[in-house]
Amino acid sequence: MKPSLKTNGLLAALSLCFFSGQLAAAKSPFAAVEPVRQSEVKWTSGFWQQRSQICRENMIPSMWEIMKGTDYKPFLRHFEIAAGMAEGRYHGARWNDGDFYKWIEAVCAMQAVSFDPVWDERLDEIIGIIAKAQREDGYIHTPVLVAARNGDSKAKPFADRFNFEMYNMGHLMTTACLHHEVTGKESLLNVARKAADFLDAAFRSPSPEKARHAVCPSHYMGIIELYRATGETRYLRFAERLIDMRDLVVDGGDDNQDRVDLVKQTEVVGHAVRANYLYAGVADLYAETGDVEMGGMLEKVWRNLVEKKMYITGGCGALHDGASPDGSRDQKSITRVHQAYGRNYQLPNTTAHNETCANIGNTLWNWRMFLAKGEARFVDVLELALYNSVLSGVDLDGRNFFYTNTLRQEHSAPVDLRWPRTRVPFFTSFCCPPNLVRTIAGVGRYAYSKSDSAIWVNLYGSNTLSTVLSDGNAIRLSQESSYPWSGTVGITVEESGGRPFGLKLRIPGWAKSVTMTLNGKPIDQTLESDAYFEIKRTWRSGDIVELHLDMPAQLIEGHPLIEETRNHLAIKRGPIVYCLESSDLPHGAKLSDVRISEDIKLESRYEAQLLQGVTVLEGVVNVKPDGDWGGKLYREFKATQSSELKTRFVPYYTWSNRGDSEMSVWLPLD
């Protein structure tokens, strides 16, 4: 891959404004749109306000109790030991530093919209401990620092490529940039810069051995975010050098996406979290450099994901364990993979892995693709994952979590799977819970974006936006909507700045019937789905745009090559995927006996007292007893009578919140 910083990307970057005596990369030169600040969007009521309140009142405090203590695994304590403030040994996963940084990011995101002096003081104390734990040369990774403090002479940086040093420091950088944005303080930013400077020096001379230290590469996103926060182009050069260095790997494999040179990749393969983080970071770099080869690769692997390897819920990574490239003639190229993308159309339901972190990675990747290209299709996927495979990872009270997110669960599972089949407060690989906390705390940043003379409305729900366009035009909007339960959205211009600007509203790909009014008068233009519709004018305070998205329940079928969904149907309404849960079946009715007809009539009804308030779908299904198989693998087919049963379907993300239950997204066609 050619050094893309020698292209127009560097010239564009150098033309940006100065901030605090340094170059401030305020806008990515090749991005179609730019994000708003975390503090500029506030949820006022409805779906995301409810989720945000639970995050603030339950998720963040309960996770703090876990992370400040030692009942499960030490998190803060590891930094205290590394800083010489406590005694002890390292006792946890090698990526736990990153988990702690993600939780800090969640606190910062909440502080941006609801400042609490207690949390501010607590963050200062925590950051002081982290800074004290950091080595003078900038290295910070508590598994190594704690071992060295305890006299282990073999405890050295980068002794093991699976030590997750880069991953941990990447999350440190991302968190530090948000902390600086929200608080204006440089305490954590200084720690992150020292860490980045250490890495920059350590990887100054690329080599095949150094290239292997790219496991779960959150550091690409982190380093580029650090460049954007500081404006120092050396960080951008460093990020590009690291991504280019991947191609030096000898005898690489698909598990870590380094069997094939980066720009030659055409399929999303291997460990799903690592893949999604990789492509998210590359999309960040693409927005800065405009590298044509890089952009072409991203488009190919993205299409492979959404057309052949992504679940209906936006879930990613079908397999607990597998091999890739599966069935290859070249046996030497086959790699053992885990938590991974399988072959095209290999999407099992009962054994689906769909790690919560991979699903969050799907949102990170699609968000960055959207920022780079400004196309609604990326927000469609982001929204799908957010409402379904991301939120399914946490219970409604915010204290218990799934590591994996199956699409079908029965009490008689075909295999003994390694992760809990119910949500629990803690599991050894604790990467997903803090990832969920930071995602929910920061979801407001996805709601809007902006370009030079336009506000882009990406996600719908009741909220306010206060931002300033690049021409200095101050904009304030308020949005009222019961989305995702209702497709009616009202947006009021509270402050317009006196200059014309565009209001671009996303029309989701699932929307078949769409209408829009401006100040009560219909807009007589074609409103295409899976696109943005722009109204550009000189706005006045009090102007109102109303969007009406028809939300009928839709029956969904899978591609014929998805063997597990042949002759099955799923149900979707708006962005919400539904499931049938055994909690909604009468005593004695088995989930495995339920069939669905292609002409089922589904009626929607909002139930305020159910599952913290959801729209359910009611309809009549058929029950056909499966009988006793008596240990047989096959038997002669005999027709059986079916009976009708009225039941209800609930949003997939809410399942397993009413006690022990079975569940299925896909039901066999009667």
Sign of the dihedral through C-alpha 68, 71, 73, 79: positive
What is the arithmetic mean of pLDDT over 258-278?
97
Q: Which pLDDT band, with edges at 50, 70 and 90, does 333 fall under?
A: confident
Cα 246 to Cα 119, 207, 228, 279, distances in angstroms: 40, 9, 23, 13
Instruction: For residue 317, give the nearest of 350, 341, 291, 283 by alpha carbon.
Output: 341
Q: Are 135 and 209 in contact (CB under 8 A)?
A: no
Strand ranges for 412-530 from DSSP E: 448-451, 454-457, 463-468, 474-481, 488-495, 501-507, 514-518, 521-522
Q: Say yes or no to pLDDT of 23 above 70.
A: no
Q: What is the pLDDT of residues 524-575, one digit of tens each?
A: 999 999 999 999 999 999 999 999 999 999 999 999 999 999 999 999 999 9
Above pLDDT 90, what percent of the chain?
Answer: 87
Q: What is the pLDDT of residues 272-299, one digit of tens each?
A: 999 999 999 999 999 999 999 999 999 9
Q: Are 571 and 556 in contact (CB under 8 A)?
A: yes
pLDDT (0 to 100) of residue 13: 35
pLDDT (0 to 100) of residue 575: 98
Cα 105 to Cα 8, 40, 108, 216, distances in angstroms: 33, 17, 5, 18
Q: Which pLDDT band, with edges at 50, 70 and 90, does 331 fall under?
A: confident
Q: Say yes or no to pLDDT of 169 above 50.
A: yes
Q: Bridge-partner residues for 213, per DSSP? A: none
Q: Say yes or no to pLDDT of 670 above 50.
A: yes
Residue with tokens 């030497």: 332
Q: Which domains, and CATH codes, for the chain?
A: 4-407+420-446 (1.50.10), 448-549 (2.60.40), 553-668 (no CATH)
Q: What is the pLDDT of residues 49-91, one digit of tens each?
A: 999 999 999 999 999 999 999 889 999 999 999 999 999 999 9
pLDDT (0 to 100) of residue 11: 33
Lowest mean pLDDT among 4-8, 180-184, 609-613: 4-8
Task: Tell me the pLDDT of the chain averaged across its residues.
Answer: 94
pLDDT (0 to 100) of residue 26: 56
Which amino acid is located at 362 in the chain?
Answer: N
Other residues' Cβ atoms within 10 Å of the Cβ of residue 604: 16
Q: Which pLDDT band, with edges at 50, 70 and 90, does 405 fall under?
A: very high
Above pLDDT 70, what percent of the chain?
Answer: 96
Alpha helices in 256-375 (DSSP H): 272-289, 292-304, 356-373
Q: Bridge-partner residues for 514, per DSSP? A: 549
Non-local CB neighbours of 29 within 8 Å, separated by 6+ positions: 8, 9, 12, 13, 15, 16, 287, 288, 290
Q: What is the pLDDT of residues 358-381, one digit of tens each?
A: 999 999 999 999 999 999 999 999
What is the arithmetic mean of pLDDT over 486-490?
98
Q: What is the pLDDT of residues 429-484, one digit of tens each?
A: 999 999 999 999 999 999 999 999 999 999 999 999 999 999 899 999 999 999 99
377 vs 626, residue with greater confidence: 377
Q: Which pLDDT band, with edges at 50, 70 and 90, does 8 fall under?
A: very low
**How far, in whole angstroms, is CA 416 from its chain's centroid?**
28
- Per DSSP, 39 falls in state G
pLDDT (0 to 100) of residue 166: 96
Q: Which pLDDT band, with edges at 50, 70 and 90, does 498 fall under?
A: confident
